[in-house]
Amino acid sequence: MKRVTFAVAVALAAATACSSTTTSAGQGESAAQGAKIAFLMPDIASTRYELYDAPLFKAKMKELCPTCEVLYQNAGADAAKQQQQANSALAQGVKAIVIDPVDSAAAATIVQSAQAQKVPIIAYDRPIPAAKADYYVSFDNEKIGSLIAQSLVEEVKKKGGDGGLLVVNGSPTDAAAQLIKKGIHSAVDSSGLKLLAEYDTPGWQPNKAQEWVSGQIAQFPGKIGGVVAANDGTGGGAIAAFKAADTPVPPVSGNDAELAAVQRIINGDQYNTISKPIKIVAEAAAVVANEFAQGKKPAGKTTLFDTPSELFTPTVVTQENVAKELLGPGGALKVSEVCTPDYKAACDKLGIK
């Protein structure tokens, strides 16, 4: 937990120290009082947005600006709906919009509409390459791809290196998914393992990933040595496909450290995931949004797609470090949540109590 607190503290200190503003500190704080901040998330296919991102962002905003109001909306994987939600937020006079875009290209229109009304846009988790947002807060998505793929490649080779790889990417309309895909290929292409087939999963939908992997199992019987899946949802879909085919599940990757994925890792069904404590990005985004609401202009730690950015480094999680990374004091999950009756024996085997 100290690492998370430090990361957010650094983000806050940097944003405060490096900000430029035309108002005094007191005037800026006064301007933020009662401000409305929009927090627009992309879908419910990944459980993280409802369970973690939104509550954590709201809590940090309340701490920073007790009188501010967070307007939270989830687009349900519908880009047109997200456009309507952004328009509604602008009509309600928001001082900043934090958006995780459904469609990174389509979101350029939202950026342009907001900036025409002098409302800053903070791209969250997924970048918006076609239009320059005012800020971007995320984990390093390309690094995520390379980490999960390299970890899985090493496991496949340790098991004998038999068979090739399937790659299950994220949504083709998600710029973050394309960065993850680039990272995946940096590890897969140099691995010496054969890439059997690759798929871009529409809307990150687990059922689409399952359908595709089912077809590959039939096409490459006994030849699949591992599956590099870009997140826990697509990884879960891949695992479900092998189980439905009554075929041994090879090493399968993931990303997001969702509860179900952590249980699959403990149970031996999924090989890895990525620990990227959502608290870090949610709180950093709240710090930046509050700065913008005060009329300030936070400086980025780096630049991506010509946008001032702050990118955090994630951690690969396997059975070896799941307890330390996710279940220890201040961890993202509680042992009681993970080690339910169905997983108690597996938890006991790993010494998780």
CA 293 – CA 193 distance, rounded (Å): 50
pTM (2 d.p.): 0.81
CA distance 258 to 253: 13
Report the distance separating Cα 224 and Cα 243, nearest Å: 14
What is the CA angle 171-175-178, rounded to 5?
70
**Predicted confidence pLDDT, tens digits, the chain (353 residues):** 333 333 333 333 333 433 433 334 454 565 678 999 999 999 998 888 998 999 999 999 999 999 999 999 999 999 999 999 999 999 999 999 999 999 999 999 999 999 999 999 999 999 999 999 999 999 999 999 999 999 999 999 999 877 999 999 999 999 999 999 999 999 999 999 999 999 999 999 999 999 999 999 999 999 999 999 999 999 999 999 999 999 999 999 999 999 999 999 999 999 999 998 899 999 999 999 999 999 999 999 999 999 999 999 899 999 999 999 999 887 889 999 999 999 999 999 999 98
- Beta strands 224-229; 164-169: pairing state: parallel
The DSSP output letter for 343 is G
User: Is the separation of the CB atoms in 196 and 217 below 8 Å?
Assistant: no
Question: Is 176 exposed, middle or buried (CB count within 10 Å of its CB: 0-12, 13-18, 19+)?
Answer: buried
The pLDDT tens digits of the residues spanning 57-101 come to 999 999 999 999 999 999 999 999 999 999 999 999 999 999 999
